[in-house]
Structure 1
Amino acid sequence: MSTATTFSTLDPLTRQPLGERPVYATGMLLDAQDFQDEQTYHRGRLARALGLAGLLVQHRPAQDTAPEEIQVNAGLAVDRLGRLIELPRPACLRVQRWWDAEAARDGLLQADYTTPGRFISARAQAGVTLPARAVVADVFLRFVACPRGLTPAFASGPLDALNAVSVSRLRDAYELHLVPRQNLTDTGLGLPLRPGAFTLPVEDETAEEALAREAAMDDTSVDPAVRRAALQDAVLHGYSRPADDELPRGPEHPPTVDASAVFIARVLIPVAPADPTVRQGSAVLVDNHSRRFLPGLGVLARWTGL
C-alpha cells in the first residue's frame, strides 16, 4: 500500500470554461496565464462525453499470498469534464480493509438492502445466485494531478529566496473509490442515466409524454418517424449548462463523491440476515454492465452489421 500527494491547485476545467483559444502575434508578451489557457483549451476539447474502454472490474478471492481484492483492470475513461483517465496497469482495492473502515463509521448499516438484485443490471443477474441481503457499493474512478519533478524558479509569496524551486511537471493520474450506497429505492437506483435521457420543462412535456418518448428510443416496433423524432429531441436537448457553472451531479453520484468521478461498477457483498456488518460467505457479485458505454465507430459499425 502506498500513498501519493496530489496537486491542490484548482483545475481550470472544474469551472467548465468556454472553448477560447489564445491568439498569438509577433512581439506579444506572454505570461503563465497564456500557457495555462492553451493547455486548458486542448485538455477540455479532448472529449466531452463519458466513454469507457477496458476497466473491467473483478473480485479476486483471498489467497495464501494475497488478500481479497476488488481489481480494476487496465483501461481508459473520459470524465464529464473531458479529462482522460488512464489505468496503465491493474489497480486493486483491498476488501477487508475497506470493510473494517466502513463498519467503524456505520457505513455498512446504511448501505444494507434486502433483495439487492433490483439494483443491478439484467445481465449481471443472469446465471448467478443473487443474495437475499447485501451491502451495495459502487466503484468510482476519479482524475487527479500529481506533481513530478522540480525546477529552479523565482520565489513566490511574501518571502525572498535564491534557491526557490517549483513543480515542473504534472502527471495525469487517478484515484479509485469504493463507496457504500445509501438511500437506494426501486425508482432511485443510483445508476447513470441512459444515453439520450433528458428532461424537458414541465410546460413543454407531461410526465406521460416523457415516459413515452423514452420508451420509443428502445422499441424497434415503434413507427420509425416516432423513433426518429425521439432521437432528434435527445440530440437537441442533450446539452445543458447550469447557470452557476457547477458540474451537476448525476444520479450515480452520492454527496460524498466528486461530481466528475466516473462510475464503473456496482458491487454486492452478501451479509448475514441479522447483522449487516457480518459477511455471509466470501462471494462478491460485480456488475460491470450498469455503466455507460461509448463504443468506437468501428465496433458500432460491426455490431450493426455494416
Structure 2
Amino acid sequence: MSNRFPFHAAENHDPARSDPLTSSTNTATTFSTADPLTRQPLGERPVYATGMLLDAQDFLDEQTYHRGQLARALGAVAGSGTLAGLRVQHRPETATGPEEIQVNAGLALDRLGRLIELPRPACLRVQRWWDAEAARSNLQQADYTTPGRFISARAQAGVELPARAVVADVFLRFAACPRGLTPAFASGPFDALNAVGVSRLRDAYELHLVPRRNLTDTGLGLPLRAGAFTLPVDQETAEEALAREAAMDNPAADAAARRAALQHAVLNGYHRTADELPRGPEHTPTVDASAVFIARVLIPVEPADPAVRRGSAVLVDNHSRRFLPGLGVLARWTGL
C-alpha cells in the first residue's frame, strides 16, 4: 500500500466517489513515467519522403514534437500552478458518506507545461489515509506545534488555529491512462496471432496527500513565487536580491527598480534540464517533481498524543498555491 491516491479518467470510473489505493507500479503511473516530455526534449520533428519506411516510433516522435512545443510555450508564458478551479474542501463524515478531502473540478499546468484537468470532483478519504500513514509512523514526523505558521495569512483569517496538528499537502500529478486495446503484432519474445496493444492514452491525473516533514519557519515547503530566482554571487549581493524581490511585489515601488527586477526575471528565467527536473521546495523526495501543489491541510491532534486526532475539523489552505489567472481576469483586475 502506498501514500498515493490515483484517480484516472476512465469512462467506467467515477473518481468523485472512490479513492483506490494503488502501488506506484500501476499501469497509468508506468505510462506517465515513460512520457518523453519528462526528458524535456529539444524540438526535433520527423521529416518524410516518398517511399520512406516508417514505424511506430516515427509517429510517436511526431506527437512528442507537437506536445513538447506546446508544453514549452504554456510553461514559459504561464508557469505552473492553478489555471481555474481546483478548490480543496473538507467534508465531514455524514450518515451517507465518510470524511473526505474533496478537490473540485478544475485545470492546472504542471512544471513541464502539461495540462492537467479534473472534469469532476475527486475525493480522498481522510481516515483511510490517516490509518495507512500512522501504520508507517509518518504522522509523528509531520506533527507540529503552532502549525498556523505554515499556512497563508488569508487561511488564518477568521478561524481558530489548532495548537498542534499534522501538516499534509495535496498534489495533482499528470498521468497517462491507457485505453482502447486493438489487434497488433506481438512484440518481444512472443509468437501470437491474437496480440493486442493500447491504441489510446487519455491525459488523466493522480491526487496525492503527503505528510510534510522537517518544516521550519524559514523552510515552509511552499512553491516559490513566480519569477523568483537567484543571481550568481558575483552579480548580486543578498541585500540586492531582497530589494529586487521587494520591488517585484510592491506596485508602489520605484518604476525603474520594478522594471529592472522584471528584466532580471526574464533574463534569468530560462530553465531546461537534460536529465531530471529539479525539485521545488514543495516537493518531498517521494513526490514527482512535475506535480502541482494545490493545497495544505492541518489535521488537529491531541496536545499530549499526536497519534490521536482532536475533533473532526480539518483546516484547508487554498491560498499558498501558485495562481495562473487568465488574461481576461487580469484585465478586469487591472481596471481595463
Q: TM-score, normalised by structure 2?
A: 0.88
Q: 2:43 aligns to what SS in structure 1?
A: coil
Q: 2:306 aligns to what SS in structure 1?
A: coil
User: What are the residue-to-residue correspondences of 1:31-110 with 2, within 5 Å?
Assistant: 31-44=55-68, 45-46=70-71, 47-48=74-75, 49-52=79-82, 53-110=84-141
Alignment-derived partner of residue 154 in structure 1:
185
Q: How many residues align?
A: 305
Unaligned runs of 5+ in 2: 1-17
Alignment-derived partner of residue 296 in structure 2:
266
Of the three residues 246, 253, 271, the one matched with 1:215 is: 246
Alignment-derived partner of residue 30 in structure 1:
54
Of the three residues 22, 27, 46, the one matched with 1:6 is: 27
Alignment-derived partner of residue 175 in structure 2:
144
Q: CA deviation at 1:2?
A: 6.0
Q: Which moved more, 1:13-22 or 1:53-62?
A: 13-22
Please give the per-residue CA displacement for 1:159-190, whole angstroms capped at 9, x wherever unaligned. 21111111111111111110000000010000
Alignment-derived partner of residue 5 in structure 2:
none
Q: CA deviation at 1:23?
A: 2.9
Please give the per-residue CA displacement for 1:48-101, whole angstroms capped at 9, x wherever unaligned. 221421100000000001000000000111111121111111000000000111
Give the distance between the partners of 1:165 and 1:2, measured in 2 at CA: 29
Alignment-derived partner of residue 280 in structure 2:
250
Give the distance between the partners of 1:183 and 1:2, measured in 2 at CA: 28
Give the distance between the partners of 2:251 and 2:114, measured in 1 at CA: 35
Of the three residues 263, 285, 308, the one matched with 1:278 is: 308
Alignment-derived partner of residue 155 in structure 2:
124
Equivalent residues of 1:69, 1:93 under 8 A apart: yes
Root-mean-square deviation over aligned CA pairs:
1.4
Letter in 2 for 1:174: Y
Determine whether 1:165 maps to 2:196: yes
Alignment-derived partner of residue 4 in structure 2:
none
Equivalent residues of 2:166, 2:300 under 8 A apart: yes
The 1:2/1:103 distance shift into structure 2, 3 A limit, reads closer
Q: 1:143 aligns to what SS in structure 2?
A: strand
Equivalent residues of 2:81, 2:292 under 8 A apart: no
Q: 1:98 aligns to what SS in structure 2?
A: helix
Please give the per-residue CA displacement for 1:122-156, whole angstroms capped at 9, x wherever unaligned. 11111111111110000001111121121111111
Determine whether 1:199 maps to 2:206: no
